[in-house]
Structure 1
Amino acid sequence: MPAVSNASPAARDGRPHVDEPAAYDAILLAGFGGPEGNDDVMPFLRNVTRGRGIPDDRLEEVAQHYYHYNGVSPINQHNRELKAALEQELAARKIEIPVLWGNRNWEPYLGDAVAQAKADGARSLLAVATSAYSSYSSCRQYREDLWQALDDADARDVLTIDKVRQFFDHPGFIEPFVDGVDDALARLAEADLDLATQVEVLFATHSIPTADARNSGPRDTDFGPGGAYEAQHRAVAEVIMLAVEQRRRSRAEQAPQTPWQLVYQSRSGNPATPWLEPDINDAIGDLPPGRRAVVIVPLGFVSDHMEVLWDLDNEARESAVDRGLEVIRVPTPGTHRAFVRGLIDLVEERLAGTPASARPAATTLGPWFDVCRPGCCLTGSSGQRPTVAGVECSADSAS
């Protein structure tokens, strides 16, 4: 039995970085999914929380955030735009591979996309997930759902699915945030704010249970109490702030060190369960006297969706305004030119079999793995569901 379930021949032996060229019949853009009308909201939330035993009255509280926007999350439209941008970049590079799109939690579903690929005669897919970091929910669960999509489409005997590496420190993902923070600080400097004492940069990402954070990344590496998830975010934030300072100096502008911190948002579940902290609203409340503005950077998000619109643009903004602070929220990468180019660079890595030593990575943590390591991001609550793009072992088995 191969070490990696339903992998291409190049990835089947489980090496961390695949340095053999591979051919793919299609790229599968794997999204989270979101509702596109009020009637979709509760079924969508039930999909997201399936198996957790969360009652509908709790889901109704979250549903109100969606109803505020007529039940429409922007995430599906963003993925339509990203799919079109990826197709345009592929055409510009003369790479003739179609792009399919499927979601984990709403239409179009991953299973439908895989079934269509099978019907079209495809035999090998390369997945690009709209999630940059390592954790159960941001990597392993995508890999589980991709395996399930193969099973649902009765395609395990005919289709392989590889997955590009987690791209948290790829320059194409980082550049849009550098642009956004640079622009925000320039605006605040023009308003005569002292960037060293009156401004705080808040890098925001989704909170996860601390137990899941500890288990994020390979099990044979100690990333600290927050696991690979926290370490990756912190390393990327440091790179962004350094790049912004360098840009300002290159323009002969003052480049004081602006205070920043990593904060969390959108926690859910049992209040007694420890989650990563501080919450962004608490962090805003605890800012030292003298702060007059905050720059909110949605570092954990590829594109806008409800947890950006509601938790940052509404709740966090309200917390800041209540303290008399000016607020600038930096854009998500979306279809930023550098981000789109970066995703296709990741595709070309696998087409060419680019060795790890030749791959771009802006932190010392990367380049991350093409094939996840045994037990990577496995949580106690997730059980031992089978996956693609990861090495199987006794604790990570598809059987």
Structure 2
Amino acid sequence: MGYDAFLLMSFGGPEHRDDVMPFLRNVTRGRGVPEERLAEVAEHYYHFGGVSPINQQCRDLLAAIDADFAAHGLRLPTYWGNRNWQPMLADTVARMRDDGVTSALGFATSAYGGYSSCKQYWEDIAAARAHVGPGAPRIAKLRQFHDHPGFVRPHADAVREALAGLDPARRASTRLVFTAHSIPVSMAATAGPDGGRYTAQLHETAALVHAAAAPDLPWDLVWQSRSGPPQVPWLEPDINDHLRELADKGVTDVVVSPIGFVSDHLEVVWDLDNEAAATAEELGLGYARAATPGTDPRFVAMVRELVLERTDQIVPARLGTLPVWDVCPENCCPPPPRRGAS
């Protein structure tokens, strides 16, 4: 099948103070999250003037993809649509239809399997196409890329750079801590057709980054950014609890690498650069946070390579061994139970 457009799909984020609460209600619709919890999370956004970095990061990434496509003779017009805030995916799909697009390739800014990180984008596509109605272009989502060299190597270089900022005399008591977004334990157990794909892929990415960046150092995979009712079990340990455990064990310095993310959006800069950094300071730990790929040229080139993989022009580039797939099986990654009105 031929493709005549490229679509960047992302989570979306507010860009004005008045956007924050409507945005958070979009994110949590049907999940029974109380208003007081939304107000608490809203303070994270207000700390940055009500502006999430993610939309500008998407603009920057799309501009870099445009330039890379043009430099390599890949003639695909590019579009961008979000799950939770403008530009909304349905509006973008309507514009694509009006522009005469019939079949597009979609790239989601999430490297891993799982409901929120993968299958929900398939649902977003279906809902957007249904909203647009007749003439809505077909959209095929590009594969998960947790082990692609263009994702792994920028993370590894960022870890090396972060390590260079710590005291080399304390390297023997330094540890790498990889982080990703926590999800409910029940959701993690059903990620992928065989279950557990989200955590398995993250462990594989962590191992690949560790081997490339600092194979002499011990490492852990921990979690951040949990939300939802406290009675629902989520993946643990939380990054802050883990830092306390490491300090108790004699660790003096940590490099925190957010391998669960492709850019430094709000959950990275708030949870790691504010909360976790403050915890480390309280504990007397040396602390360095590694960067995310962002618009690293290797990451941008990866997007083009994923397109060329789908059009059978190149062989897939992979560093790991876990299965990945282009189309989610029917039994893959069921959504979490919804609470309250939808």
Percent sequence identity over aligned pairs: 50
Among 305, 325, 332, the alignment partner of 1:369 is 325
Q: Distance in 2 between matches of 1:312 and 1:257?
A: 24
**Structure 1 range deviating more: 345-354 or 109-118:** 345-354
List 4+ stretches of structure 1 deviating above 4 A.
none
Find the counterpart in structure 1 of residue 185 from structure 2. 210
TM-score by structure 1 length? 0.82
Sort the Cα spacing of 1:166 and 1:214 in 2 relative to 1 into closer, same or farther, 3 A: same
Q: In the TM superposition, what are the counterparts of 1:282-301 in structure 2 within 5 Å? A: 282-287=241-246, 288-301=248-261
Q: Distance in 2 between matches of 1:217 and 1:138?
A: 11
Shift of 1:352: 2.4
Find the counterpart in structure 2 of residue 53 from structure 1. 32
Contact 2:129 2:136 in 1 (8 A): no
Would you say 1:236 and 2:214 are equivalent positions? no
Would you say 1:264 and 2:264 are equivalent positions? no
**Structure 2 residues without counterparts, runs of 5 or longer:** none
- What residue identity is the alignment partner of 1:362? L
Q: In the TM superposition, what are the counterparts of 1:40-189 in structure 2 within 5 Å? A: 40-155=19-134, 158-188=136-166
User: What's the secondary structure of 1:125's corresponding residue?
Assistant: strand
Measured on the aligned residues, the alpha-carbon RMSD in Å equals 1.5
Q: Distance in 1 between matches of 2:39 and 2:84?
A: 17
Q: In the TM superposition, what are the counterparts of 1:311-330 in structure 2 within 5 Å? A: 311-330=271-290
Q: Distance in 2 between matches of 1:130 and 1:173?
A: 11
Contact 2:159 2:291 in 1 (8 A): no
- Which one has a bigger Cα radius of gyration? 1
Q: Distance in 2 between matches of 1:153 and 1:49?
A: 24
Among 179, 189, 192, the alignment partner of 2:168 is 192
Find the counterpart in structure 2 of residue 201 from structure 1. 176
Among 318, 322, 335, the alignment partner of 2:295 is 335
- What residue identity is the alignment partner of 2:34? P
* Deviations, residues 204-247 of structure 1 (Å, cap 9, x unaligned): 100000000000011xx35xxxx0111101111111111124xx
Q: Distance in 1 between matches of 2:269 and 2:234?
A: 21
- More helix per residue: 2
Contact 1:30 1:128 in 2 (8 A): yes
User: What's the secondary structure of 2:104's corresponding residue?
Assistant: strand
Q: Distance in 1 between matches of 2:169 and 2:79?
A: 47
Shift of 1:353: 6.0
Among 299, 312, 316, the alignment partner of 1:359 is 316
Q: Distance in 1 between matches of 2:290 and 2:213?
A: 13
- How many residue pairs were aligned? 338
Contact 1:215 1:379 in 2 (8 A): no
Q: Distance in 1 between matches of 2:80 and 2:136?
A: 19
